[in-house]
Amino acid sequence: MEPKSRKVMVVDDNQIDLYIAEMVMKTTKFADEVICMGSARQALDYLKPLHDRPEELPYLIFLDINMPEMTGFDFLNEYKNLPENIRKKCIIMMLTTSLDENDRKLAEENVFVQRFLNKPLDKDKIAQLK
Amino acid sequence: MTLQTTYQDMHDAYLLQVKHKSDKLMNYFLFSFFTAGLGLAVFYDTWLVAIGIGGLSLVAYYATKWLLPDSDAYQYIVSLVFGIFMAQYIYQMHGLFEMHFIAFIGSAILITYQNWKLQIPLAALVIVHHATFGYLQYLGYDKVYFTQLDYMTLQTFIIHGFLATIVFFICGLWAWQMKKQTEVQIEQTYEMGRFQEEQAQRNALLQSNEELRKSNKELDRFVYSVSHDLRAPLSSMLGVVGLCEMGEMDPFIEKNVSLLKSSIKKLDGFIIDILDYSRNSRLEVDTQEVHFADLLTDVCNNLKFMCTEDQRKVEVRTKIENGIAFHSDRSRLSIILNNLISNSIRYQNPQEADPFVEVSVAITASSADIRITDNGIGIESKNHEKVFSMFYRVSTQSVGSGLGLYIVKETVEKLNGVIKLESEPGKGTVFNIHLPNLAS
């Protein structure tokens, strides 16, 4: 996975977790730019207008599951209705504290989800993604 | 749960009702018989007989009933009393033939008790009365007043007796039949009642089952969100600790951060243990095909980040004899293997040059034997039983919650399996797990 623009989006309602993800990815040089989104709705609003500027899309999206108002799975439900060029460009990884088998199963069954990661994100886990 | 009423209770209650109703009727009949006697006294001036015999009969009846209220003796007395009234009337009317019919009236009245045996005293009295009085009249005794005929021929007497026998027999038969019918009816009513009761109980059971399912589901959701809400801040803390570790640190701070980290991990492990325990005890076994190779890969991936700095990597070897599909509950198996392998890593022997844990799986059509062998520090034999107890920790150096092996045992039992332990301090530990193949 060596993309040209290493832009990564993190969707999480927890500000500390956003900060951790951003710091880990920047320190390990995993990403040049980390877009932190505090809610699933905000993330969708960010992605939608980019269908005519696909070069600005993040190539990876780290998605939390347990979020108020709109969960990670709600996000995936709306994500599948986005234009194809957006969907093709982005790879989604679930990043959650959940150890629930159902959450894992649901995530693995979803075609857009590449992996299911448990928090916290650290340099070892990032090293595995490279 | 037992049914509210038994068949016997219901049977007795119904017969008691028949008895009370019949007893009440008897009062009217006896009063009428007595009054009729007084009426007949007018013809031949038999007042003494009417009041004396009739009165004594009533006294006999009510005395018996009063003295022996729980026995049905008074019913046999009333049967006799009807016979006596017949004799009394025949005498009062100086042998008027129609007075013999009184016996038949008595016989018919007795049917109400639904007891064929009540016919016997009446019939016996009639026989004795006819024989005695018929014979006395035949001998020519005066004032017997048995019949208006000069004397009764044997042929008439036999026909008379024969017809009377038939009447008594038929009335007895009706009484018997009514009783049978009543019993059938009671049985049907009872069965119906029991059916309704069972139906009600079944409905109640279904309802409580449904409520239980609902509350279980709610509890599951509760456990889910509590565990999430408790673990989310812990994982943030671990994340921040991870950030600290990425930079250069003063050795003093570095040590403190590592202490912080192990505490956080311990607390997180504890929450995970409680979550596993709660899920195992509540959720139903979800049978599916289990691929041990995949399962072990997942478990090892989860444990990859477990080793702390002072622990060496432990080599996890797996040997799976495949070929036959194994069916069981994947998430429970994952809990079992996760706990046992992480124990092997946690309690590795520092003296051992090559720490390892070996998982071997042999599957047959009926079962799977899982053997987990390590060369860790081992467990003293006096502790072999205790390690499976809740919150039991072998030493103060134990880092776990004291729930791990307890959960393993509970989970194995939930899958109808057996777990056995062999261990020697300094040599290592072997866990043998026998699990049924839940294919069918």
Restricting to B residues 180-239, those with a Cβ less than 8 Å away from any Cβ of A are 224, 227-228, 231-232, 235-236, 238-239
Name residue B310's amino acid: D
Q: Reply yes or no on domain B284-436 having CATH 3.30.565.10.
A: yes
Domain containing A66: what range? Answer: 7-129
| Residues B405, B273 contacting (CB under 8 angstroms) | no
Most confident of A41-50, B210-219, B349-358: A41-50
- Closest partner CB to B228 (pick from A98, A122, A123): A98
What's the pLDDT at B28? 95
Residue A22 lies in a domain: yes
**Cα distance from B245 to chain A (closest Cα, Å)?**
10
Per CB-CB distance under 8 Å, the chain B contacts of A100 are: 224
- Please, which pLDDT band fits residue B287 given cuts at 50, 70 and 90? confident
Q: H helices of chain A, where?
A: 15-27, 40-47, 72-79, 84-89, 101-109, 123-129
- Please, which pLDDT band fits residue B318 given cuts at 50, 70 and 90? confident
- Please give the interface size between A and B, counted as residue pairs whose CB atoms are below 8 Å apart: 58
Compute the average pLDDT of residues B322-339.
Answer: 87
Adjacent-strand bridge partners of A118: A96
pLDDT under 50: residue ranges of chain A? 1-3
Q: Which residue has the tokens 């043998």?
A: B432
Q: What chain B residue is nearest to A66 in terms of C-alpha separation?
A: B228
Per CB-CB distance under 8 Å, the chain B contacts of A16 are: 236, 239-240
Q: What chain A residue is nearest to B286 in terms of C-alpha separation?
A: A101
Compute the average pLDDT of residues B355-384.
Answer: 89
**Cα distance from A125 to chain B (closest Cα, Å)?**
9
* Span B218-255, pLDDT tens digits: 887 888 788 888 889 999 999 999 999 888 889 999 99
What's the pLDDT at B294? 86
- Please, which pLDDT band fits residue B283 given cuts at 50, 70 and 90? confident
What's the pLDDT at A1? 46
The residue among B419, B397, B416, B395 whose CA lies nearest residue B406 is: B419
**Cα distance from B361 to chain A (closest Cα, Å)?**
23
Compute the average pLDDT of residues B198-219.
Answer: 90
* pLDDT greater than 90 at residue B9: no
What's the pLDDT at B1? 40
Interface confidence, given as ipTM, is: 0.85
The residue among B190, B189, B200, B188 whose CA lies nearest residue B1 is: B200
What's the pLDDT at A45? 93
* Span B136-160, pLDDT tens digits: 887 877 777 777 776 667 888 888 8
Per CB-CB distance under 8 Å, the chain A contacts of B239 are: 16-17, 20-21, 24, 119-122
- Please, which pLDDT band fits residue B11 given cuts at 50, 70 and 90? confident
Per CB-CB distance under 8 Å, the chain A contacts of B242 are: 20, 24, 120, 122-123
pTM of the entire predicted model: 0.58
For chain B, the structural domain boundaries read: 7-199, 284-436
CA–CA–CA angle B67, B72, B76 (5° rounding): 100
**Cα distance from B401 to chain A (closest Cα, Å)?**
18
- Please, which pLDDT band fits residue B393 given cuts at 50, 70 and 90? confident
| Residues B34, B84 contacting (CB under 8 angstroms) | no
Q: H helices of B292-355, where?
A: 292-303, 330-346
What's the pLDDT at A85? 84
* pLDDT greater than 70 at residue B214: yes
**Cα distance from B379 to chain A (closest Cα, Å)?**
30
Distances (CA, A) of B408 to B280, B377, B398, B433: 10, 19, 17, 10
Per CB-CB distance under 8 Å, the chain B contacts of A122 are: 238-239, 242, 305
**Cα distance from B332 to chain A (closest Cα, Å)?**
10
Q: Which residue has the tokens 């049967």?
A: B79
- Closest partner CB to A97 (pick from B235, B246, B305): B235
CATH number at residue A113: 3.40.50.2300
* pLDDT greater than 80 at residue B395: no
Residue A122 lies in a domain: yes
CA–CA–CA angle B252, B255, B258 (5° rounding): 150
Token duo for residue B158 = 């036999």
CB contact under 8 A, A20 and B239: yes
B305 contact A CB<8A? yes
Question: How far apart, in whole angstroms, are the C-alpha atoms of residue B372 and residue B77?
Answer: 89
Q: What chain B residue is nearest to A27 in terms of C-alpha separation?
A: B246
What's the pLDDT at B145? 75
Question: How far apart, in whole angstroms, are the C-alpha atoms of residue B124 and residue B112?
Answer: 20
What's the pLDDT at B440? 56
Distances (CA, A) of B303 to B88, B171, B257: 109, 92, 21
A101 contact B CB<8A? yes
Average pLDDT, chain B: 87
Residue A2 lies in a domain: no
* pLDDT greater than 90 at residue B166: yes
CB contact under 8 A, B232 and A97: yes
* pLDDT greater than 60 at residue B2: no
CB contact under 8 A, B239 and A122: yes
Per CB-CB distance under 8 Å, the chain A contacts of B238 are: 119-120, 122
Per CB-CB distance under 8 Å, the chain B contacts of A22 are: none
**Cα distance from B255 to chain A (closest Cα, Å)?**
19
Domain count, chain A: 1
Residue A1 lies in a domain: no
